[in-house]
Amino acid sequence: MNILMLTPYLPYPLLSGGQIRTFNLLKNLKDKHSITLFSLIKSADRPYLEALKPYCHKLKVFRRSDKPFTPQNMLKTGLSTYPLVVIRNLVPETAQAVKQELKSRPYDLIHAETFYMMPNLPRTTIPIILVEQTIEYLGYQSYAQNSRRWYLKPFFSLDIAKIKHLEKHYWRTCSRLITMSQSDQEFIQTECPDIKHIDVVANGVDIPFFTAVPKKLPAVPTILFVGTFSWLPNRQATIWLVEHIWPLVKQRLLKARLHIVGFKPTAKILAYNQLPDVTVNGNVQDIRQAYATAHVLVAPVNWGKGTRYKILESMATQTPVVATPLAVEGIAGLVPGEHVLVADTTQALAAQTLKVLTQPHLQQRLAKASYRLVTQHYDWAAISQDLDRIYHKLGQNL
């Protein structure tokens, strides 16, 4: 089938969840479909174009602003019915290029990653799949509630109302809506009972890639946190871990170490390097090395929707996980206590972490159980088959 895919990011390098997802789906579907990829990029992305060309029939990119809160974007948002997230990703050349592309070649499907790419599409009879990697307006609500920019509260309030209205509009008007998890699917159906055309295509993990680096555990108990710090929930989870959970662990286990790994750490997070037995690495060359040397991953994420790649990667590397219920939400088949340890308070998260660090048999049991789960249900090869079935189902209805 001929498929036109639109993404608000270049799916390489693999720094964020969206990039990981799109890249692996492209890689696994390239021999089954002819995929033309239209991506928005930032100025630093151009060197990575060559890495994607083997997986695409055609690749075309369009420059968007590097930062969302530019004066130009803020002014446009204030004068528009569109929210900021759409204004930032609404590049005039994109909409024109999409229109021309649909005229130049017969397409069977259009695949849009995130609702804010939808305004780039013209009116068309071609079936449109909308993939929602998260419930966007919920994320912005949490961001606004936690933001210290009090002077922007009125702007946030209006912008969130715009997002909610537009997001629900595109949920209803697309041919097929895809969520990352059953919990997201159920949330949408509760919010909009009239929407029935929803499928779940979960996030996955590249099992062969992560199992290629074996465990090499250090002599001292080591805790790992992984996350991209441009995402606010990861920044807040890090602060909670370092400033509240970690001191309780150190009280009981003096020789423990904490390793924080992720791209774009803020100045506040980088400053944690000055603490004893804490290291922050913002320039990760191979994330597998971080998992290989960790006794436990701690994920105290307390807001945001969607499946956490850090959890799936930990399971693939046989790294035990201690997490909040929200951090493991959406992973079908996961049983707290069997695959991961779950807690939602500072004291309980510290206690569960200490339990894993001090009980080797528990480490092994959690590692083996979670590895079985992820290999059976979350390998990208299997996930891509779920998407492929939806492609063919829509294609047969043409």
CATH code assigned at 244:
3.40.50.2000
* pLDDT for position 162: 95
Q: What's the start-to-end Cα distance of the chain, in Å?
A: 12
- pLDDT more than 70, % of the chain: 97
Return the amino acid letter for 70. T
User: Distance between CA 78 and CA 92 in Å, rounded?
Assistant: 18
How many domains does the chain fold into? 2
pLDDT score of 354: 98
| Structure-block tokens of residue 245 | 């959970």
Instruction: Note whether 262 and 284 are same-domain residues.
Output: yes
- Dihedral angle over CA of 33, 180, 240, 252, nearest 10: -90
Alpha-carbon distance of 357 to 359, in angstroms, equals 6
Q: Which of 267, 228, 225 lies closest to 246 in space, CA to CA?
A: 225
Q: Tell whether 275 and 217 lie within a shared domain.
A: yes
CA dihedral 203, 207, 208, 212 (to 10 degrees): 120
CA 118 to chain centre: 19
Q: Is the pLDDT of residue 197 over 80?
A: yes
- pLDDT for 144 equals 72
Whether residue 270 is found in the same domain as residue 302: yes
Q: Is the pLDDT of residue 247 over 70?
A: yes
pLDDT value at position 28?
A: 94
Instruction: Indicate the residue type of 376.
Output: Q
What Å distances lie between residue 19 and 22, 35, 47, 228, 389, CA to CA? Answer: 5, 16, 15, 12, 22
pLDDT of residue 110: 97
Decide if 223 contacts 294 (C-beta within 8 A): yes
Q: Is the pLDDT of residue 397 over 80?
A: no
Average pLDDT of the segment spanning 365-392:
95
pLDDT at position 42, please? 87
Helix (H, G, I), strand (E, B) or coil at 318: coil
Q: Please give the pLDDT value at position 305.
A: 57
Per-residue confidence at 307, pLDDT binned at 50, 70, 90? low
Q: What is the mean pLDDT of the segment spanning 20-39?
A: 95
- Do residue 233 and residue 363 come from a single domain? yes
Given a cut of 60, whether residue 398 has pLDDT beyond it is: no
Same domain for 235 and 153, yes or no, is: no
Q: What's the confidence (pLDDT) of residue 181? A: 87
Q: Are residues 50 and 145 in the same domain?
A: yes
Do 234 and 145 belong to one domain?
no
pLDDT in tens, 200-234: 999 999 999 999 999 999 999 999 999 888 777 88
User: What residues form DSSP beta bridges with 40?
Assistant: 62
When the pLDDT of each residue in the chain is averaged and rounded to a whole number, the result is 92
Q: How confident is the model at residue 304 (pLDDT cuts 50, 70, 90)?
A: low
Name the band, by pLDDT with cuts 50, 70 and 90, for residue 43. Answer: confident
One domain for residues 46 and 191: yes
* 50 and 109 belong to one structural domain: yes
Query: What pLDDT band is residue 182 in, cutting at 50, 70 and 90?
Result: confident
Whether 302 and 325 have beta carbons less than 8 Å apart is answered as no
C-beta separation of 106 from 2 below 8 A: yes
Confidence of residue 285 (pLDDT cuts 50, 70, 90): confident
Same domain, 118 and 173: yes
- Looking at the structure, tell me whether residues 136 and 239 fall in a common domain: no
**Cα radius of gyration (the chain):** 21
pLDDT in tens, 318-360: 999 999 999 998 888 999 999 999 999 999 999 999 999 999 9
Residue 185's CB is within 10 A of a number of other CB atoms, namely 19
Are 344 and 324 found together in one domain?
A: yes
Structural domain that includes position 224: 207-377
Q: Rounded to whole angstroms, how far apart are CA atoms 150 and 143? A: 12
